[in-house]
Amino acid sequence: MDTAATVKVLNFKDLGALGSAKKKESKSRIIIGEGVVTKDGLLEGLVLELFQRQLTSCVVITDSNVARLYSQEIVQHFSQIHKTSLIKLPPGEESKSIDSSVKILAQLAKLGFDKEGLLVLLGGGVIGDLGGFVASIYKRGVKYIQLPTTLLAQIDSSIGGKTGVDATWGKNQIGTIYQPIGVIIDPSFLKTLPEREFLNGIGEMVKYGVTSNARIFEELEGNSNFESLSELTHMIEPCVKIKAKIVSRDPNDSGLRSILNYGHTIGHSIEASSNYKASHGVSVLFGMLGEGWIAHELGLFQKDDFQRQELLIKRLLRKRNNNTQFRAILSLRHEMLAKFALSDKKNAAGKLRMSLPDRIGRMHINEDGTFKIPVSLDLFKSSFRYMKSIFSET
Ligand code: ADP
Ligand code: ZN
């Protein structure tokens, strides 16, 4: 399978469109629907449509937390299609390693898993990234589907075919771009998602609002207290549509996709220099504060929009306060952050470059036609002072 992705999003209410979509065009489909996974026969039908051939076997890959909650039901569904086995990993980022990929490859070989089999990745970003990587290298590539169970995976990491594992020299440093045949998103999985994991996804929602769609931002702004998860699940579909559209236009991450990296230059450097004590979600929220401030200082991000972003992020951070993480961020030094930021993939010739907004819902296009704006190291350092000042107010 090549890396080209025509990613098509369907709500499961219009599933008629699945069969009629031109097969050549649609390499990766995304299906969204509350309860899709639990409705009798629906999941099996969808998977067979997506696979389009006789299946020899299924292997569900998951972690032990998700397994406890959902594996019995999911394995049962897939057993209706064909012989189904379960591979379970310990939860957490430690599982996203070359070692566990090799172990999974060996388990697949032992199960006699072949090119006509299907891998089912049930879990959050860890399972999706690791399982996608295994799918891309086992026998030079087998088919897989994603069943994302975290908000972050549902609106971001399961879409677009980025796979990978962590290396001793950095996160996601070994990987491929390899599209799943389908992503089946069922928001009902989120009912069991812990609070901290939920905030990871909200960071990306704010990102979609600022980079691509002012309406998403306004919805978040209008949300008075972010009290219940159900207040946000209706936002999954618009977020997925943005990601799908961007990935379809830039499957290999060579241009447009960089806008989805907003908040991530600083975000990743906060995560890495805190030794991952700060979660991805909180780091990206801080990252957007800092990068938004830089965009404003450069005269790009207009003042009223910059202030709206600041207010929303402050409200989110205040609402979902997490002292350990905040302390970790507060104790960081900007020299350390700069070291990580300078190894960001958007940089060129050792100079920092960031994707920055003009307005809420619109990113700035640089003179060279890219979305990567050069940023001086001094401005980067000052943004950290600004973030700290916001933090102390929070
Ligand atoms: P991310 O999508 O943020 O990369 P991970 O794959 O690391 O997340 O998953 C985060 C944690 O949440 C893991 O401990 C995982 O087992 C757990 N988890 C994933 N999905 C669910 C769910 N639907 N309900 C409860 N816990 C979940
Ligand atoms: Zn992210």
Provide the pLDDT for residue 2. Answer: 41
Query: Ligand 2 centroid vs 205 CA: distance in angstroms?
Result: 10
Mean pLDDT across 310-316: 91
Least confident stretch, 16-25, 50-59, 151-160, 220-229 = 16-25
**Residues flanking ligand 1, CB < 6 Å:** 63, 65-66, 69, 91-92, 123-127, 149-150, 152-153, 189, 192-193, 197, 200
Give backbone dihedrals phi and psi of 329, rounded to 5 degrees, phi first: -70, -40
pLDDT, averaged across the chain: 88
The ligand that comes nearest to the alpha carbon of residue 152 is 1
The residue among 166 and 334 whose pLDDT is bigger is: 166
Query: Ligand 2 centroid vs 319 CA: distance in angstroms?
Result: 20
pLDDT, tens digit, 9 for 90 and up, residues 231-271: 788 899 999 999 999 998 887 777 888 899 999 999 999 99
How far apart are the C-alpha atoms of 157 and 124, rounded to whole Å? 8
**Residue 355: is its pLDDT beyond 80?**
yes
Residue among 274, 50, 79 at smallest CA distance from 145 = 50
Mean pLDDT across 317-327: 72
Bridge partners, 340 (sequence order): none
pLDDT, tens digit, 9 for 90 and up, residues 44-74: 888 888 887 788 899 999 999 999 999 999 9
Q: Are 144 and 181 in contact (CB under 8 A)?
A: yes
Provide the pLDDT for residue 244. Answer: 93
Measure Cα distances from 362 to 211, 214, 306, 383 in Å. 5, 8, 12, 21
Provide the pLDDT for residue 303. Answer: 97
Mean pLDDT across 350-365: 93
**Residue 319: is its pLDDT beyond 50?**
yes
Please give, one letter per residue, the 3-state secondary structure of the chain: CCCCCCEEEEEHHHCHHHHHCCCCCCCEEEEECCCCCCCCCHHHHHHHHHHCCCCCCEEEEEEHHHHHHHHHHHHHHHHCCCCEEEEEECCCHHHCEHHHHHHHHHHHHHCCCCCCCEEEEEECHHHHHHHHHHHHHHHHCCEEEEEECCHHHHHHHCCCCEEEEEECCEEEEEEEECCCCEEEECHHHHHHCCHHHHHHHHHHHHHHHHHHCHHHHHHHHCCCCCCCCHHHHCCHHHHHHHHHHHHHHCCCCCCHHHHHHCCHHHHHHHHHHCCCCCCHHHHHHHHHHHHHHHHHHCCCCCHHHHHHHHHHHHHHHHHCCCHHHHHHHHCCCHHHHHHHHCCCCCCECCECEECCEEECCEECCCCCCCCCEECCHHHHHHHHHHHHHHHHHC
**Residue 36: is its pLDDT beyond 70?**
yes
Measure Cα distances from 5 to 24, 112, 183, 212, 322 in Å. 11, 29, 13, 20, 38
Provide the pLDDT for residue 229. Answer: 59
The residue among 340 and 106 whose pLDDT is bigger is: 106
Ligand 1 atom, smallest distance to 153 CA:
2
Question: For a substitution probing ligand 1, which of 149, 157, 198, 276 has the most ligand atoms within 8 Å of its CB?
Answer: 149
Give backbone dihedrals phi and psi of 246, rounded to 5 degrees, phi first: -65, -40
Provide the pLDDT for residue 329. Answer: 86
The ligand that comes nearest to the alpha carbon of residue 229 is 1
Rg of the chain over all Cα atoms, to the nearest angstrom? 21
Mean pLDDT across 126-145: 97
Beta strand 357-359 with 143-148 is unpaired
Ligand 1 atom, smallest distance to 157 CA:
2
Least confident stretch, 19-23, 112-116, 199-203 = 19-23
Region of 370 on the Ramachandran plot (φ > 0 left; ψ -120 to 50 alpha; else beta): beta
Provide the pLDDT for residue 336. Answer: 83
The residue among 65 and 321 whose pLDDT is bigger is: 65
Ligand 1 atom, smallest distance to 127 CA:
6
Provide the pLDDT for residue 24. Answer: 46
**Residue 380: is its pLDDT beyond 80?**
yes
Confidence (pTM): 0.91
Question: For a substitution probing ligand 1, which of 130, 146, 150 has the most ligand atoms within 8 Å of its CB?
Answer: 150
Mean pLDDT across 277-302: 95
How far apart are the C-alpha atoms of 118 and 161, rounded to whole Å? 16
Beta strand 373-374 with 353-354 is antiparallel
Provide the pLDDT for residue 174. Answer: 96
- In the numeric block, the tokens 């609002």 are attached to 209
Q: How confident is the model at residue 324 (pLDDT cuts 50, 70, 90)?
A: confident
Question: What proportion of the chain, given as a percentage, has pLDDT over 90?
Answer: 61
Provide the pLDDT for residue 5. Answer: 55
Provide the pLDDT for residue 35. Answer: 87
